[in-house]
A and B are shown apart, each in its own frame.
Chain A
């Protein structure tokens, strides 16, 4: 790829220290991500995918190597990154709208402007909820929403403050297959509209192939990248795309690599 990388992961290793025991979670990890790129990281469970996510956001410090975002080294929690987890972690005492607006109360400059331009921000949040089909549910509380709706709201909350980097840790993992496939489309629409950089952690190979520009396959612990696969399927991709032979070939290739690392 061309140009300097937006997210640069350079020879990163992480050692977990638990009492006497030392675990090498990831080792010699190299990943470059361009601005506006959508990448997915797949691998067998326990390969350090979620560790990678914590490293990039600075919630964990790497033992060796370095990570830079937009040229700046990461040491300590990176500010203004969007994050969405499998567990939607919406706040049950806030309405959907108030949940989505939570980052605006924390991230500058919105924090400063929120009180004066409340109307504008509410409109913005409602529009965002509209793009995922939740506008009519803005006043409902999270526990009044279905799992899929909660996850849509969760995704909205993670991008309302327009982060340059969005981290997704199996955000659709707990949903049923139909809802999950539907949300792939929603996610792609959002990304094509807002053009943020996204890192998706998943163990669903079809999900990775559908959404990502590039898919990284990680080995089992200690995790390192064993394959970087360019997904050359034109956008917007649809559910029909997933039934095309080329899509199947890519998924198959990824599957073979995962299988290799699992049995080796």
Chain B
């Protein structure tokens, strides 16, 4: 086997290895299923509850991507404002940091009062949690234009808008796409938290109701499904990143 195929196979080998290790630990220690179910038991539960899992994970996928999309739009725009204007930066940044420090679980009850339980709080939680890294990254990309380049453009008579569109925005693109990879996984955290606390639908709700009836294999099945969705969405973000900002990679073949 040459190195290239090994590199391709490595993620799968490690994943399978982890599951094997998990299975072995379960068999050797004879741990009770309602404490730690073995992977084989979890997969059985996955097959058994496939329709429910499919229904709830689709709901989660929907709320997550909706919240994520809002985060990209809102975070991108705010990032441009913050990165382009020192005044906006100085004014808003402390507020943003403060807002980001609030645990998002604490927000969900407020959202429930405003919007009731269900889809909307999940979307909003995914939005607020994925929003921050996008703002910070886009603003950083804009604020770190080389001073010499700025001088070159200013001495050509470029307006602020021209500097922004010709240099700032293209330059911020790799930063934006790097943040999307972080943001999409965070968005899952947000939507699942909201579903767990306040929803009748979604993987979070499925896991909560499974755990209250001691169906622990189903809880773990839910966890694995969330992880898989996260990895898939991450891969989609990477694919977009490579397509849109290939110039920033210069021929390296690493995933992130």
Contacts and interface: CB of A to CB of B under 8 A. Distances in A.
A54 to B, nearest CB: 7
B156 A161 contact: yes
B248 A92 contact: yes
Contact of B156 (A58, A80, A89, A92): A80
A117 interface: no
A167 B248 CA distance: 29
Contact of A79 (B152, B157, B162, B171): B157
Given A59-B155, A83-B152, A161-B156, A105 B166 contact: yes
Nearest to B145: A89
B256 to A, nearest CB: 19
A143 B250 contact: yes
A106 B162 contact: yes
**A: contact size bracket:** 20 to 34
Most buried by B among A82, A89, A167: A89
A107 B157 contact: yes
A87 B146 contact: yes
A81 B162 CA distance: 17
Contacts of B156: 79-81, 103, 106-107, 161
Interface in B133-155: 146, 148-149, 151-155
A77 B155 contact: yes
Given A89-B146, A93-B170, A141-B247, A77 B157 contact: yes
A233 interface: no
B247 A89 contact: no
Interface of A is mostly: loop
B157 to A, nearest CB: 3
A145 interface: no
A143 B251 CA distance: 11
Contacts of B152: 83, 85, 89, 158
Given A91-B170, A93-B170, A141-B247, A106 B151 contact: no
Most buried by B among A54, A91, A106, A108: A106
Given A89-B148, A89-B149, A93-B170, A83 B155 contact: yes
B186 to A, nearest CB: 27
Contacts of B250: 143
B158 interface: yes
B77 interface: no
Contacts of B148: 85, 87, 89
A107 B162 CA distance: 11
Interface in B147-181: 148-149, 151-158, 162, 166-167, 170-171, 173
B178 to A, nearest CB: 15
A111 to B, nearest CB: 9
Nearest to A77: B154
Contacts of A102: 166
A102 B156 CA distance: 10
Contact of A106 (B157, B170, B171, B248): B157
Interface of B: 146, 148-149, 151-158, 162, 166-167, 170-171, 173, 245, 247-248, 250
Closest 9 A/B residue pairs (Cβ): A79-B157, A89-B149, A85-B148, A81-B155, A93-B247, A106-B156, A77-B154, A106-B158, A57-B155
Given A78-B155, A141-B247, 20 more contacts: A57-B151, A59-B154, A59-B155, A77-B154, A80-B157, A81-B156, A83-B151, A83-B155, A85-B151, A85-B152, A87-B148, A89-B152, A91-B171, A92-B247, A103-B156, A105-B162, A106-B157, A107-B156, A107-B157, A167-B155
